[in-house]
Amino acid sequence: MQSFRTELENNIVEQDIIDLENKIKAFRDGTIHDEKFRSLRLARGVYGQRQPGVQMIRIKLPFGKVTFKQLLRIADIADEYGSGNLHLTTRQDIQLHYVSLDRTPELWAKLEQDDITLREACGNTVRNVTASPNSGIDKDEPFDVSPYAHAVFKYFLRNPICQEMGRKIKISFSSSDKDTAFSYIHDLGFIPKINEAGERGFKVLFAGGLGAQPFLASPINDFLPEDQLIPFTESVLRVFDRYGERSNRNKARLKYLVQKLGLEEVLHLVAEERIANKVKTYTIDRDSVPQPALPLEREYSAVEILNETHYKHWSATNVVEQKQEGFYSVYVKVQVGDIKTDKARAFVEAIKPYVADEIRVTQNQGLLLKFVREEALPSLYSALNKIGYTTAGFDSLADITTCPGTDTCNLGISNSMTLAEVLEDVIYTDFPEFIYEKNIKIKISGCMNSCGQHGLAEIGFHGSSVKAEGKVVPAVQVMLGGGTVGNGVGRVAERVIKVPSKRATSVLHFILNDFKANNEENENFHQYYDRKGKDHFYQLLKPLADLTNLQQEEFVDWGHVEQFVTAIGVGECAGVVIDLVATLLLEADEKFSWAKQNLDKCAYADAIYHTYSTFVSAAKSLLLDKGVNSSTQVGVIREFDNHYVETGEFNLSTNFSDLVLQINKNEPTAEFAEKYFGEAVAFLNQIKEKRAA
């Protein structure tokens, strides 16, 4: 695989890994607070696991792209450092489990040998930028969005404006109006458009999100020109960093900032921030993600298909004609997203002769293979069939998405992975015709936080519990009617009823039998659900919620033998830094040194942002002396004026707000960077003198 990394980038990566190693040592020595360390390691893809003493490692794969060599490298790493399993996620990442914290720097270094990063896969950062897996080959796409997703990933990786935000930002690119990357539940969702002049741009969806309280994104721009993609995104992140909630992590997403300030005001702040951007326009390199080399054209030996019926089902549900004439894409269903390392190696060996060297991880935890010649399809099927990867019904009702749940996640309430396997078995056994039904999706999360995306499913389940006979019973909340409509429009599933987990199979039987019996001709599930109404489904499922007739096995969760107990740990979706005075002063010094380094390199925009962060951290440290703890950066700035400047306790030539917020009133020039940095020097020195006194 060709590497496009520069020597400078290699040096930055090396320093990143050394920094993680040093911080782990400091944590072990007790010289860095646990909460501060948690925030730091999360931003480097190292996530605490339900099981004590081990970590989950999240590998960041922009828009889910991975080569043969990279997948084999990840498999080797999973064997050497983890549990020998690769877990595909709904954000097109790959996760490894049961990794020792002390070995994570070494693991990261080995991954980087094949241009694979952990950086900002977790934490209060821009998470993995997702895209429709079929981008570049989609017959319906106006243009390939892959280079645009890649540009956003690259521009904001290690960018100072998004390293320590209040919480995460999620960004998606759909390939067409079908919106298969779910723009409507993202902080920023982009759908490609071409205007009347033939220019490229994007419809923009703003401030969506799932979680325990789903918000549908608002359409804010029907056509954002392609050269404004990066500047607009930068302005949004700068505003979110300054105004976003930092104390209450449950209110620390962009959707809550819009709820608090109003959409119009947030967009006004975004427009104001433009002057401070590093770039005012940004030309996207459309060739940054070239199509992979095609598989060699050759004669294919005759293949005996032992089960012609199964081959026809597989061809009909898992094979799609590409926009490139003569080529097909093949989707591979991966149950619960888990691939053992021996299977991963066998998989690469099986597909190599027949597909291009580019695999895409899909949002429903499967894999997409590209550029298969029509005459190679029987041979590819035969090779995949030998290793068990020809299950028909990709992205159908029978292809259930799930998070790891209580298998490894701290926040999991009840099991989701075994439940997914059981429900899939129900469909293949009792409703085999539904492997052709691609307009109904089942998604499962182990808790209400929606990592399994249950909130955007036609049929969703999330882990819960109920009490009966003085004991706790594992349960699922049944949610119905969600899903994608198209062109940025989506639906959030409604909570209908809660039932014991072991009755989820009956829930599925009741719903599907009712759908088969009562849906009208050409009526999809959304129309059927709306016509029947929520109460119809509540009454339909109500007998299953009766807790007076529980059987003993219903006190045991799926995949377990012991009696169920709820054991919820501390979530690590995004760590919030604890407010300790010493920690904040150390942070201010660290950010100050970064500002100086960037100033010396003439990286003026980055220097200015690090300088701004120095002001905020230093001011926050002094506010804590008065017991004042603001939950936003703009609140820190305001409170410092209230408690120090206006009282005369701190001498400034102007108020603190005017001093700090010069950042969004000036171009990022050398002159302003030098001036702003000098003012930060004086301010930081005065803070330290006051602390010493």
Q: How far is the C-alpha of 219 from the C-alpha of 225, rounded, in Å?
A: 15
Q: How far is the C-alpha of 188 from the C-alpha of 192, rounded, in Å?
A: 13
The domain 581-692 having CATH identifier 1.10.1760.20: the answer here is no
CATH number listed for the domain at residues 308-386: 3.30.70.3340
Task: List residues bridging with 489 in a β-sheet.
Answer: 486
Tokens found for residue 361:
């991880």
pTM: 0.93
Q: What is the pLDDT of residue 571?
A: 53
Structure-token match 């097109």, residue found? 92
**Please, where are the H alpha helices in 478-580?**
504-518, 525-532, 534-541
Q: What angle do CA 548, 553, 558 make, to 5 degrees?
A: 120
Phi-psi domain of 674 (left: phi exceeds 0; alpha: psi -120 through 50; beta: other): alpha
Classify domain 401-555 at the CATH class level. alpha beta
Q: What is the pLDDT of residue 573?
A: 54
Radius of gyration, alpha carbons of the chain: 26
Q: How far is the C-alpha of 503 from the C-alpha of 49, rounded, in Å?
A: 28
Q: What is the pLDDT of residue 575?
A: 42
Q: What is the pLDDT of residue 572?
A: 55
Tokens found for residue 184:
């409507």
Q: Which fold has domain 1-120?
A: Alpha-Beta Plaits (3.30.70)
Q: How far is the C-alpha of 182 from the C-alpha of 150, rounded, in Å?
A: 18
Chain centroid offset of residue 347 CA? 25
b/e map of 187-201 (b: 16 or more CB within 10 Å)? bbbbbbbeeeeeebb
Asked if the domains at 1-120 and 124-290 fall in one CATH topology, the answer is no
3-state helix, strand, coil in the chain (%, to 5): 45, 15, 40
Tokens found for residue 496:
């209908």
Residues 374-398: pLDDT tens digits? Answer: 999 999 999 999 999 999 999 999 9
Residues 493-525: pLDDT tens digits? Answer: 999 999 999 999 999 999 999 999 999 988 999
- Count how many Cα atoms sit within 13 Å of the Cα of residue 495 in the half-sphere of its side chain: 11
Please name the amino acid found at residue 188: L
Which residues are within 8 A (CB) of 405 and not within 5 positions of it... i.e. 6 or more apart?
A: 412, 414, 415, 416, 417, 419, 444, 445, 446, 447, 452, 463
Which residues are within 8 A (CB) of 343 and not within 5 positions of it... i.e. 6 or more apart?
A: 387, 388, 389
Q: DSSP strand E in 412-531: where?
A: 442-445, 459-468, 471-480, 483-486, 489-491, 494-500
From residue 641, give the alpha-carbon distance in Å to each of 243, 581, 649: 17, 18, 10
Structure-token match 């102007």, residue found? 654
Query: Which candidate, 201, 204, 278, 265, places its Cα nearest to that of 235?
Result: 278
- Count how many Cα atoms sit within 13 Å of the Cα of residue 641 in the half-sphere of its side chain: 14
With H, G, I as helix, E, B as strand and everything else as coil, classify residue 419.
helix
Q: What is the pLDDT of residue 389?
A: 98
Q: What is the pLDDT of residue 567?
A: 57
Q: What is the pLDDT of residue 582?
A: 66
Please give the order of strands across the beta sheet that includes 442-445. 401-402, 442-445, 459-468, 471-480, 494-500
Tokens found for residue 585:
């002063």
From residue 70, give the alpha-carbon distance in Å to each of 114, 116, 170, 383, 384: 6, 7, 24, 21, 20
Tokens found for residue 5:
């990394």
Q: What is the pLDDT of residue 580?
A: 57
Q: How far is the C-alpha of 57 from the C-alpha of 77, rounded, in Å?
A: 11
Q: How far is the C-alpha of 93 from the C-alpha of 339, rounded, in Å?
A: 13
Query: Which candidate, 261, 277, 165, 276, places its Cα nearest to that of 206?
Result: 261
Average pLDDT by stretches of 10, the chain with 693 residues? 53 89 90 80 89 92 98 98 97 97 95 95 95 98 98 97 94 98 98 98 97 94 98 98 91 96 98 96 97 89 93 98 97 98 98 97 98 97 97 98 84 88 97 97 92 94 92 94 97 96 98 96 95 98 96 91 66 46 78 95 96 94 88 96 94 94 96 97 91 76
CATH number listed for the domain at residues 124-290: 3.30.413.10
Q: How far is the C-alpha of 189 from the C-alpha of 192, rounded, in Å?
A: 10
Domain borders along the chain are 1-120, 124-290, 308-386, 401-555, 581-692
Q: What angle do CA 118, 125, 256 make, to 5 degrees?
A: 145
Q: What is the pLDDT of residue 574?
A: 47
